[in-house]
Structure 1
Amino acid sequence: MVRIRTACATLALVGATVGVASIPAGAAPAAGAQSTTRATACPTGWGSLAKTDTGATVAPLTNVRTGRHTCFDRMVLDVPGAGSGVGYRVQYVDRLYQDGSGRQIAVAGGAVIEVRVFAPAYDPETGAATYPGRVARPLPGVDLTGYRTFRDTRFAGSFEGETQIGLGVRARLPFRVQQLDDRVIVDVAHSWTATG
């Protein structure tokens, strides 16, 4: 009799476990049930200090775009024809000042990142603009609605072969910079913790 009860209890536990395991990961829990969704593991160790690469190119900046990811918001600066030679300096600043004029450009957010690429936003031979940004205005085509970290973008201009952009973020958060063929990528984390 004890063996039968033990066998029935074991079968009930196995059946319950199989039943729980077969629920799809994206399924919503029943009303009143606790969610078992786990936090996403995010990269750590980026820090918030300035990041620099001294490369330079005459290939001009043509586009700036952004994207949302699980652990970070991303800005991509496209410099076609530059290969992996695009230099940059990305750093937190108290205020954004335009190169050449010294004009202060207001950038909304709890903190401001100055993104500087060592590439012009104009054709060096003709002087014609290759990027349609207007000084002190938001970046054209960039909509930050729904972003967790990014709050504002401002074009600060292009001076002596360098292009300057202000990126307003929610708070001073860790970031990384990657240099890939024809682009510079700036990722700003959603938080200081290792979960998204």
Structure 2
Amino acid sequence: MTADPSGKPLPVPGNAVLQAVIRAPAQGFDDSGHQPGRVLAQVGDYFAQPTGWPSLRAVRFAGFFEGQCTFAIGVRAQAPFRVSSQEVPADQIRRVVVDLAH
């Protein structure tokens, strides 16, 4: 896995990695797709390192560039997965759900 946009290696625990790329909405961003003054996380920050989950090893922030956020999801091994989203109208957000087989 590599960091976005630098292309530098980004190690992730596990024997396989899922790369989740989420496109950000166009409003509120400059011409390069950056959201001025708002930092979600620093490249390499861990969002999760759960214990007791058979498949998931870690979720790391891999970067934000040109209107997209990239996350590295470290998993135990290559296995089936499913991605969906859930809209939360009261919060005006959309959640991304990654179901991993175990």
TM-score in terms of structure 1 length: 0.42
Identify, as 1 or 2, the structure richer in strand: 2
1:129 partnered with 2:38: yes
Q: Distance in 1 between matches of 2:39 and 2:61?
A: 13
Question: Do 2:49 and 2:59's aligned partners in 1 also have CA atoms closer than 8 Å?
Answer: no
List gaps (5 residues or longer) in structure 2.
Answer: 88-93
Letter in 1 for 2:76: R
Give runs of aligned pairs for residues 1-196 of structure 1, distance below 5 A. 96-119=1-24, 124=29, 127-129=36-38, 131=40, 133-139=41-47, 142-181=48-87, 182-190=94-102
Letter in 1 for 2:36: G
Alignment RMSD (CA, Å): 1.8
Letter in 2 for 1:118: R
Deviations 1:166-186 (CA, angstroms, capped at 9, x unpaired): 010010010001123212211
List gaps (5 residues or longer) in structure 1.
Answer: 1-95, 191-196
Identify, as 1 or 2, the structure richer in helix: 1
CA offset at residue 124 of structure 1? 2.2
CA offset at residue 100 of structure 1? 2.0
User: Which 4+ runs in 1 deviate beyond 3 A?
Assistant: none
What fraction of aligned residue pairs are identical, expressed as a percent?
A: 38
Larger Rg belongs to: 1
Deviations 1:86-139 (CA, angstroms, capped at 9, x unpaired): xxxxxxxxxx1122211110011011110110127xx526612252x2211212
Larger relative CO (CA 8 A, sep 6+): 1 or 2? 2
